[in-house]
């Protein structure tokens, strides 16, 4: 799947503030192209479901407003960010410049011995239920809950207080723990 060549069929975003889920946005998207059997088999989303859905051109201003100056968080954020930022640029000329936080990268640092860091196994390990796997709102909800657990852990273990500390931690940049 290519952010430059393929189109989104659904988007969901959850807003987390101070470790609490405070807002969400979710919609199917009419990609204006035929949905492949692979995507339908994976997600359950077919051409009929998106027929009357808004297009990416219609929803990108809403997406940009929802993101505002927030950190974009996803499980394998580079993949999702590619689709969101490419769609915003292509459809509306909107340049999204949000910092990105990746729960896969965080899981590598926090749970180095975990065998699989795919969303399903990670969620299962952390006892997070995914309401609808491979659907945007289910995966986004599970990712938000995983993020909340990771933030709580890092606050306790490293006394993290800022998003900057999380961003540096995910990339392996040394973060000094404040002395008590």
**pLDDT, tens digit, for every residue of 134-176?**
899 999 999 999 999 999 999 999 999 999 999 999 988 755 5
Q: What is the pLDDT of residue 50?
A: 98
Give the bridge partners for 55, in sequence order.
30
Delineate the domains of the chain, giving CATH numbers in brackets: 10-170 (3.30.420.10)
Segments in the chain below pLDDT 50: 177-180
Q: Helix, strand or coil for residue 101?
A: strand
- What are the Cα distances from residue 18, in Å, to 21, 75, 134, 179? 9, 19, 27, 22
For position 162, what pLDDT does the model report? 92
The whole-number pLDDT of residue 179 equals 40
């Amino acid at each position: 799947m290519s952010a430059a060549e393929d189109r989104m069929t659904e988007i969901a975003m959850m807003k987390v503030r101070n470790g609490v889920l405070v807002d969400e946005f979710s919609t199917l998207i009419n990609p204006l192209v035929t949905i492949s059997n692979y995507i339908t088999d994976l997600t359950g989303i077919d051409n009929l479901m998106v027929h009357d859905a808004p297009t990416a051109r219609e929803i990108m201003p809403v997406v940009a407003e929802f993101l505002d100056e927030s950190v974009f968080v996803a499980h394998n954020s580079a993949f999702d960010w590619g689709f969101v930022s490419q769609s915003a640029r292509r459809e509306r000329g909107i340049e999204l410049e949000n910092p990105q936080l990746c729960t896969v990268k965080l899981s590598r640092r926090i749970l180095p011995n975990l065998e699989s860091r795919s969303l399903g196994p990670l969620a299962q390990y952390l006892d997070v239920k995914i309401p609808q796997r491979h659907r945007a709102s289910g995966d986004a909800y599970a990712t938000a809950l995983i993020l909340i657990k990771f933030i709580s852990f890092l606050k306790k273990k490293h006394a993290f207080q800022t998003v900057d500390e999380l961003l540096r931690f995910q990339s392996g940049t040394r973060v000094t723990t404040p002395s008590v």
